[in-house]
Amino acid sequence: MTLLIDIGNSRTKYIFSTCIEKEKCKVINNRQLTVNWLEENFYSVKKIILANVSKSSLTNVIEQWAEQKNIALQVIVSEQKRFGITSFYQQPKQLGIDRWLAILAVANLYAEKNALIIDAGTATTIDLLSSQGQHLGGWILPGINLMFDSLLTQTSRIDAQREIVASLEFGANTSENVNSACWAATIGAIELAINQATKQLNNLDVIIITGGNAENIKALLSTKVLIEDNLIFHGLQRYNSI
C-alpha cells in the first residue's frame, strides 16, 4: 500500500494512493507528525511518496521511521522537466513543490488543455499551463486569512473580526469592509489572471481550483471553474510509477 503525504506550512494532509478518486484526504496539525503517530496509523504501508513545503525536520521524522520499518520513501522536489511537462522557472527547485505537483496533475487529468491552476490555501497561487505541457509562470499572493491578518497586525487602528461568509458586498462596518476587501482582492486577481491567460494563449480551456478556499472562490467568480480537491495527490500519484 502506498501512502501519499503533503506537508504544508501548518498542516499535513495524507491519503492512500488507492483512495484518491473516492475520498478526501485526511488532515492533522504538523505538531502531531511524530514517529509514534506514524507507527500507530501506518503499520501496513509499503511505500511513502512525500512532498514538504515546511520544515526539513518533518521530512527527517518520516525518513527515520521509514528506514526503521524498511519502507520505501520518495521525497519529491520540483524539477525542470518530468512527464513531458517543462517548468518556466530558471531555477526549478524554487517553484513550490505544491505548485509543481498541481501542474503535473492538471497536465494528466486535463491533457492537451490550456489550463489556469489556482491553489487557494495559506497563499493563493496561480499558474498557467499550455496544451503543449509548458508551464508559463504564475502569481503568488497572500491567501484570504493571511491577507486579513497582515492588515490587522500592520495597522494600529483597524479593529476587525474575521467573517464566516465570503462576500464582495460593500460593508457597513470595519469587519465587513476588511473581509469583503480580502475576497475582492483575491477574486480581482483571479479575474485578471484569466484575462491575461486568455490574451497570452488566445484561448483558455479550463480553470482548476484546489485548496481550502476553493468553494468560496468558485461561488464568487463569474467564470466557470472546476474544483479538484485532491489535486496535489494526483500529482504525487504520478511518481508512484517511477
Mean of per-residue pLDDT scores for the chain: 94
Residue 83 grid coordinates: 512527464
Instruction: Measure the CA dihedral 102/111/221/25, to 10°.
Output: -40
**What angle, 0 to 180 degrees and rounded to 10, lies between the N-to-C axes of helices 144-153 and 174-201?**
130
Give me the domains of the chain, ranges plus CATH numbers.
2-75 (3.30.420.40), 81-237 (3.30.420.40)
pLDDT surpassing 90 at residue 43 = no
High-pLDDT (> 70) share of the chain, % = 100
Task: Give the per-residue pLDDT at 40.
Answer: 94
3-state secondary structure at position 127: strand
The verdict on pTM exceeding 0.85 is: yes
159 alpha carbon, distance to own chain's centre: 30
Reported as a pLDDT band with limits 50, 70 and 90, residue 241 is confident
d(CA 23, CA 211) in angstroms, rounded, equals 15
- 195-206, pLDDT tens digit by residue? 999 999 999 999
Cell numbers placing 104: 503535473
Q: Do 208 and 228 form a contact (C-beta atoms < 8 A)?
A: yes
Q: Looking at the predicted structure, is the pLDDT value of residue 242 above 80?
A: no
Instruction: Give the residue carrying C-alpha cell 484546489.
Output: 210
Q: What's the whole-number mean pLDDT along residues 25-29?
A: 95
Distance of CA 240 to the CA centre of its chain: 19
d(CA 12, CA 44): 19
Main-chain dihedrals φ then ψ at residue 10, nearest 5 degrees:
-130, -20
Residues 49-78: tens digit of each pLDDT: 999 998 899 999 999 999 999 999 999 999
Confidence at residue 13, expressed as pLDDT on a 0 to 100 scale: 96
Active site residues: 98
Angle between helices 97-109 and 231-238 (to 10 degrees): 80
Split at pLDDT 50, 70, 90, the class of 239 is very high
* pLDDT tens track for 94-139: 999 999 999 999 999 999 999 999 999 989 999 999 999 999 999 9
